Chain A
Amino acid sequence: MPINAVGREVPSEINGQKFKPFAGDMKTPPEGRRAGSLLRMVPESRSKVVSSLEEVIKKVGLEDGMTVSFHHHLRNGDYVVNMVMETIRKMGIKNIRVFPTALFPVHQPLVSMLTDGTIRRIEGSMNGALGEATSYGEMRETAVLRSHSGRVRAVESGEVHIDVAFIAAPTADPYGNLNGVDGPSACGPLAYGMVDAYHADHTVAITDHLVPYPAHPISIFQHNIDYVVPVDKIGDPNGIMSGTLRITTSPSRLKIARYALEVIDKVALRDGFSFQAGAGGISLAVTKFLGDLMKKRGIRASFINGGVTKYVVDMLHEGLVDVVFDGQAFDLDAVKSLKEDKNHIETPLAMYGNPYSSGGIVNMLDVGVLGATEVDIDFNVNVNTHSDGMLLHGIGGHQEVAAGSALTIVTVPLYRYRVPVIRERVTTVTTPGEVIDVVVTEHGIAVNPKRDDIIEALRGSKVPIYDIQDLQKKAERICGKPQEPKTTDDIVAAILWRDGTVIDVVYKVKK
């Protein structure tokens, strides 16, 4: 197996498909043309409503071995994935490739479908029980994990062809116009579903809020939707929305947020700057503190890309930022603002960070603040596996935000309980050190040596600056050296860089 640019041995063939080893960001140019979906004839009826999932699955002609896709806007409140997959299982259709934008703990029922022959593999982020089952080798084929934008690229390039896209729609009309801002299961944007709607051979909207034609506003347009299936409920609002997201109260996490703020202040804060917001505890704190600082200094941002929460919406409404780009809404304030404020813009995921496009939002970002499970002394980041080798998280937008932002900050505690976060070598490389600029811990920060300009800008700052090796040693001194993961040589998952090259693999964990 070839060794890639971050020193990992990776296969050149996965599930019978050829892949190149990771060569560095923007080092592998694209080939070919954008892939398309089937052309279709306008339906005879003025209604695309089909009464049951079983009926629609028959109509689209889903067969053994095909690929079905889902979006994850309903997050851990989603009913649609389980509902569709259970119907497929009951109909006796086998060997399905499931291609979600992400799966959550609520999708645990799919675990049994890995062994009963319904699912041959999942290509997408798996949080929780599915990741665990995959780690133990219960998936027949190899899982493939891509970032949000990497997934868009895979669809557009034809690396993955979707036979049927099942699109959860909080609001739909009978002719297939969809939005996510109204209805009992409102989730905000439908950004993750758009690529699938354009590129799948067959598209099915599933809704619990059928409204008279035309539904409006429109996120996904009627000419891309073949069928509309009304059901009782597409999700549980408590799992879709996070409730009021609270800023971390942990003093050590707040300390990390304050150090990150100081770095942003010294390096990037100026009128018209832009940043990526998120919903993690530290990220939320950074957003809030940044808003306070901007107010104090009289600074206005040009845009925030989110991961939109109440904290971002407040900044928009206080005039601290001109535009909010919204690919995902985390609370009802964000949904309401998306619906009502013209400066709060729903962005298709294809516009986010696809490296094989004419440029995404991430390429205009000044500051990205990201989390990690582990970081190593080469600044490589792992967000996929735990230190014991278990695959438990997806990539999200980590890769493209890191690659695109002018200043990429990774905020992590030095250790979590007894587990060191700054390691000699990460268990799995998700994002290469070449696109990480600053690592911020509660003990101090480390700056990637290739960023002299940042070290210079931080001169005279109160934040303690260390060599990353010293932070790693400090973590090991406090925690002791952990045991190596007990894994076999069997590859259970491949981690792709956003350009489709293989950056790392995940091995089967011994029970």
Chain B
Amino acid sequence: MVEAGTLEKGDARVVITDADKREIVVKSKLERLYGDAVRKTVEEMTQGINANILVEDMGALDWVIRARLEAAIRKFRGEEE
């Protein structure tokens, strides 16, 4: 399991755990306004990653979510912290 980001307001936390196929779970504080947008970003950035991907969005801007996803993905792929 790897994780990136925080649960502070305006941030997002990404947790990736091993699995046979990709499964995405998005929990967004702004589900009614940006749930679809967050899922689209996660979908796009995790192409080809067979793992459970959990994104908890605390009202983060898109680039913040992308930064947290990239950090988690790179850790998941074995990059040293």
Contact = CB atoms under 8 A, between A and B. Distances in A.
A and B touch in the complex (CB under 8 A): yes
Interface of A: 387-389, 417-419, 478-480, 482-483, 485-486
A479 B32 contact: no
B67 interface: no
Contacts of B60: 417-418
Contacts of B29: 417
Nearest to A481: B37
A418 B35 CA distance: 12
Interface residues of B, number: 15
Given A478-B61, A479-B61, A418 B34 contact: yes
Main secondary structure of the interface of A (DSSP, over half): loop
A478 B30 CA distance: 15
B34 A480 contact: yes
A486 B32 contact: yes
B10 A417 contact: yes
B36 interface: yes
A126 to B, nearest CB: 19
B77 interface: no
Interface in B28-74: 29-30, 32-37, 58-62
Contacts of B30: 417-419, 482
Of B32, B36, B37, which is in contact with the most chain A CB atoms at under 10 Å from its CB? B32
Contacts of A388: 32-33
A478 B34 CA distance: 13
Given A387-B33, A417-B30, 7 more contacts: A417-B59, A418-B10, A418-B30, A418-B59, A478-B61, A482-B30, A483-B32
A480 B59 contact: no
Contacts of B62: 480
Of B30, B32, B33, B59, which is in contact with the most chain A CB atoms at under 10 Å from its CB? B33
Contacts of A483: 32-37
B21 interface: no
A479 B10 CA distance: 12
Enumerate the 7 nearest inter-chain pairs by beta-carbon distance, A residue then B residue, closest first.
A417-B59, A388-B32, A482-B33, A418-B59, A417-B10, A480-B37, A483-B33
